[in-house]
Amino acid sequence: MKKQQPLIACCLLLSLSFVACKSSRHINQNEISTIEITTTESGMAALPPCLVYKTRGDYADKVPVLLNAKKTAIISYPAPSDLGSEGKEACPVILEQGYLLDNRGISTNVAFLEYTYEQYASLKKVPGKEELFKKIIDKSPLTELWECGTRTPENCDTERLNKLIRENFPGCKPLVLKVEPPSL
């Protein structure tokens, strides 16, 4: 029991420091429903999810942004420096059957811009949210979005994910499943 006291005290101090910090950014009430924080049973933040998705168009090289719940405004977008050298670090990993492994942190409210990762990474200055909103090419691009565990090297291993795809995602949580009408 005595060994746990310093750990509990440390966690308490850390929690209090987060509460004491105040952000100058005001969050619109509509944005709150789109911000998801995963916590463990102890209340500590967990690793982000390993997300596999499919889109109704070829957006693998397009920069994603996050929209509000009504899809009327951008609530999150990357800085060009967030994408790494020429955008290569942020590009999704191409998997079997047209699926992609997310490397940017998309959500169910993702949209894709006209910009490729390379074009966006080379921008000297990011356009404002309103200008970026005009560059959206698809506000509802996802046909499938699967949560395949936490984002660890083991869970996001391409061999493991391709096997899950072939087996129809056993043990994964579907976040988006849309049936596309057949093309005539």
Render pLDDT for 25-67 as a digit per residue (tens, 0 to 9). Answer: 333 333 333 334 444 455 556 789 999 999 999 999 999 999 9
Q: What is the pLDDT of residue 104?
A: 93
Measuring CA to CA, how many Å separate 131 from each of 95, 140, 152?
Answer: 32, 19, 35
**Residue 95, C-beta contacts closer than 8 angstroms, at least 6 positions apart:** 52, 101, 158, 161, 162, 165
DSSP 8-state class, residue 83 = G
Question: Domains of the chain: which residue ranges?
Answer: 45-177
pLDDT in tens, 121-152: 999 988 899 999 999 999 999 999 999 999 99
pLDDT in tens, 61-104: 999 999 999 999 999 999 998 988 877 889 999 999 999 999 99
